[in-house]
Amino acid sequence: MKLSSVCQSLLILTLFSDSTTLALDWPMFRGPDHDGISRETEWKKQWPESGPITLWEAQVGIGFSSVSVADGCALTLGHQDDQDTLYALDSLTGAVKWQHSYPSKLGAKFYEGGPGSTPTIDGGRVYSISKWGDLFCLEASTGKVIWQRQLEKEEGLTLPDWGFNGSPLILGDKLILNIGGAGMTLDKSSGKTLWLSNQEAGGYSTPLPFVMGNTQLIALSNETHFTGVEVETGTQRWEIKWPTRYGVNAADPIILGDEIWIGSGYGKGHGLFRIQGGEVSEIWTNRELRAQQNAPVLIKDHLYGFDGDGGSRAALKCIERSTGKVAWEADSFKYGALSAAGDHLIILSAQGELITAPASPSSFEPLSRAQILDGKCWIVPVLANGLLYARNSQGHLVCVDLRP
């Protein structure tokens, strides 16, 4: 059975071999469409009582880095013994293809610490940033460093309280980071700074690309606002004031047409805004989805995500996008993280239980459950090519076989 699955993977590999990344890869945080939703539909959503098969496990060090998958390689970051390590693992076997380490601090401020960003794969290269501004561009096949920078020192940046945790975004020839009060871009081939908004602390979200009119923009957070910035010039087109107690705007925004969803934890809540020209108007705001770390997913006009802060009581909620009203909530969770594939949710509870369920506004009806991890699981599970990657804060990474 395993063998036939491998054959299937090889088949897929052959079919898409002309592309640099496979169609069902997950090359960066929040996936290929920047929305936390995989395009895969044919995957195993239900499994027997014994649970799905864990193909392999690895120990990757402390951190909250998620997994990105491309070209047969699964990448994540972890911290151990005063250094961060970027692991490139064989996505099918977990064998270490290469690893890249550099001295770093743990940064365990009120939590376990370790790197919080996820590496990004683009055009045969890997881009990776540490909490403290160590930025690397490496060859995806070998791990050879093509260029590297220490942004905090070189650019005189103010670090956010918990360091840099947004992941790199590649757009054309640009590398875009949530650094500075309104982002920065670099030339992805040389690492040269193209523009830097300012030296202030940024937020914790990953830059989200979108087009307004004919202009390419990114949406990102800083400590007190969400803002829309022109990629070419760095010009801020609009901003939404969104103050939170600890300056933690971490969840990525969601954009649909001229509407933007934003949300934060620590009691703040979420809201939907309309952007027309440079003008922002509120459609609704409420406290129903206090998205502390991870954004919800938007499926057919409903948001699915966790309300509440890690370490406290939280609920999984379904919310109508147009009104902000709660369709249902499941409060058996003590926090967690989720992604989706097609029209199904893939949930990892804070205690390491994997749960699948159809994304339906009428009710929450889990299809299958399996305990795949223990410890603290606040990191989004990732589905790529039928394989589910999940890890906990201590760096226990598992690959679960959900191929049909």
Partner 1 sequence: MKTRRQFLHHGLHASLLLGMPPYLLGAKKSAQYRTALIGCGWWGMNILREAIAAGRSQVVGLCDVYQRPLEASLDEVQQLTGSSPRLYRDYEEMLEKEKPEVVIVATPDHWHALPCIKAMELGAHVFVEKPTSHTIGESQAMLQVARATGRTVQVGLHRRIGPHHVSGMAFLRSGKLGRIGLVKMFVTSSGTGPEEPTPHTKEPRGMDWDRWCGPAPWRPYCRRLTPGGWRNFLDYANGTLGDWGVHWIDQMLWWSPEPYPKTVFSTGGRPILGPPVSDPDRGSTTDAPDTQMVTFGFESFTAIWEHRKYAGNPQENHRIGAYFYGTEGIFHMGWRDGWTFYPRKASESTVHQEPSFDHVEDGHNLTLLWQDFIDAIDQARPPVADIAPAHRSSLLPMLGMISHRLGRSLNWDGQTESILGDSEAKSLMRRAYRQPWTYPSLQSKTSSNQPSP
Counting contacts by CB under 8 A, is residue 232 touching partner 1? no
What letter represents residue 255's amino acid? Answer: I
Give the shortest CB-254-to-partner 1 separation in angstroms. 22
Instruction: In angstroms, give the least distance from the CB of 107 to partner 1.
Output: 8
Per the listing, tokens 């679960």 go with 400
Q: Does 106 bind partner 1 (CB under 8 A)?
A: yes
- 253: tokens are 């925004």
Q: Which helix (H) or strand (E) holds 335?
A: none
| CA dist., res. 199 & res. 75, Å (int) | 29
Contact between 283 and partner 1 by CB under 8 A: the answer reads: no
Interface with partner 1 includes 223 (CB under 8 A)? yes
Of 9-17, 158-166, 316-324, 391-399, the window that binds partner 1 (rule: CB under 8 A) is 158-166
Shorter beta-carbon distance to partner 1: residue 356 or 393: 393
Stretch near partner 1 under the rule CB under 8 A, chosen from 60-68, 157-165, 324-332, 345-353 = 157-165
Contacts 24+ apart (CB under 8 A), 188-197: 188/122, 188/125, 188/127, 188/137, 190/147, 191/135, 191/137, 191/147, 191/148, 191/149, 193/155, 195/233, 195/234, 196/155, 196/234, 197/229, 197/234, 197/236
DSSP 3-state of 196: strand
**CB nearer to partner 1: pick between 34 and 268:** 268
Query: Are the C-beta atoms of residues 101 and 83 closer than 8 Å to each other?
Result: yes
Residues paired with 297 in a beta bridge = 304
Task: Choose, by CB under 8 A, the member of 61, 166, 202, 247 that binds partner 1.
Answer: 247
| CB of residue 10 to partner 1, shortest distance in Å | 45
Interface positions, 292-311, toward partner 1 (CB under 8 A): none
Size of the site for partner 1 (CB under 8 A): 22
Counting contacts by CB under 8 A, is residue 274 touching partner 1?
A: no
* C-alpha dihedral (174, 175, 178, 184), degrees to nearest 10: -50
Binding site for partner 1 (CB under 8 A): 105-106, 109-110, 158-159, 161, 200-201, 223-224, 243-247, 266-268, 287, 312-313
